[in-house]
Structure 1
Amino acid sequence: MAEIQFGQIIGIGEGQIFKDRKALAAAGIHRPLQAGIDGNKKDGSSSIVLNGGYVDDEDLGNVIIYTGHGGNDPNTKRQVADQSWDSSGNRGLLISEMHGLPVRITRGAGHKSKYSPSNGYKYDGLYLVTQHFYEIGKDGFRICRFRLEKLSSISPLPLDINESLESYGASETSRIPTTILRIARDTKLSRKIKEVYDYTCQVCGIRISFNGIGYAEAAHIRPLGNPHNGKDLSNNLLCLCPNHHVMFDKGAFTINEDHSLSGVEGRLFIKPGRHAIDTENLVYHNKHIFNING
């Protein structure tokens, strides 16, 4: 099976129809020929096919309440056992939620929805997993549920979130719309920085996790885009918890050249040999972003 790919598949348009699952796999939209979730416990889930596999699925178009994997009788389509967050597909969707990875949605003719095609399979764009929760399903068993919301603004720029934005060069960084930066907010580079610190905040040392899956945010020291023109490079990135990410972006604190902190107590944690910070970015943040009167 080909390597898992997240985000847009270049050359595939929203609304495109595919004859069968083999055609979906050949196009790179959805690799498995039977499973409804394309993903694993390590990388996350990149794609879902809706084709009537679970009676509890709810399709509202731009919002989908999706029933996770497991406990389903493939012949009757009924639930016969409880589901678990630890099954491969469900854990993959949890990772996609925690890491902000977009999920491709394809609807099949077997999916009872007004948004489904009359024949074959229709690719319907990118969604984000925004919530997960347990529920007792229609058949009386516990099911894992996921809320997915459609990403409505997709840039024509062929951005591949599996690669760093570095590949576009410094001159291109400011041209990438902020909507796409949010869509592709977990690029290969930012995810690497988080993995270096095991999703632990470099300021407070807190690690947020659910079911062992870490959550942190990659913060740019010198912001991208005009007027700051920071670069999407590892030496301009930090691994922070949500609180310290917002505080840093809004100038509530800054990092000095010796990695001491101003505005909050403590010192920035750095892993020698695995992460280096460009001092010029720290100077820029201190001068232009830090609210000295705050």
Structure 2
Amino acid sequence: MKIGINATTLLGRTGPAGFAEHAVAAEQAGFSSYWLAEHPTGGFDALTVLTVIGQSVESMELGTAIVPTYPRHPAILAGQALTTQAAITSKLSLGIGMSHRVMMAELGIHDDKPIRHLREYLDVLMPMIETGRVDAQGETLSARATALSRPDVVPEVTVAALGPQALRVAAKYAAGTNLAWCGPKTIREHIVPTITDAADKAGRPAPRIIATLPVCVTDEPETARAKLTENTQMYMTLPSYQAMFAREGVETTGEFGMIGSEDQVEEMLADLAATGLTDYGASEFGLNSDDRARTRALLSRLAKAAA
């Protein structure tokens, strides 16, 4: 299991230059990848920031985890991703997802057939990314377009998928899935077997399975879990995550945290790797600067060992 950094917790606390500085430090520390999420109404464009980061990062993979699909036409998103890839030397991983109904409602968007949307989105996005041409006619999404130019290496596409139908669509069209708030039990018993079986049936390569979870090395684990719950419990209200929380058998987001001493966190990460996960996007946090330094030191050591 490769170890990267998910820097989404820095949203609202820094700008493009700050993210670039943070990403350079992550590359120097040995992390394999660097991920940013995009909140649909947050006034933040992840691909633009990754383009800025890519001017300073040499080889560490850069990725979105994730860009919501509904606000952007897939041909437009493909063009932006191709442009970003052409502007950077690192590999770009374009993680997309349908986000959440409550968030889309803030934009006046409603869709009662999300799986149809996802299939039609990928019917446009994937040909445009992979070949530079698309001619697709769907019920809600269509495109006839040709890319004016394409980089020699094109971005990889992953799909945020939790339910069985979405996982099967991800397996058929994309390189894999990009997860948040999925614990080891859910990944091992649901995500990995469902998407792997679907990819095999579709004649596709073994899927990439990327997951972001909070991590903290600390001497005060209970306090850290309480703080994590306080800051993130709103995710428990989102229906798509609620199903995953039920599968995992947890009642608070704090229970997802990989929190404890160096030895305890290392053991938790080993258990996570044993689920079949290919990539871990560490969401670092801490109660103080000492916690943050210890967390980064442990993750850096493990990332270098996994490289």
The two structures share one fold, judged by TM-score above 0.5: no
**Whose Rg is larger?**
1
Please state which band the TM-score falls in when normalised by the shorter chain. under 0.3
TM-score (norm 2): 0.26
TM-score (norm 1): 0.27
* Greater share of helix: 2
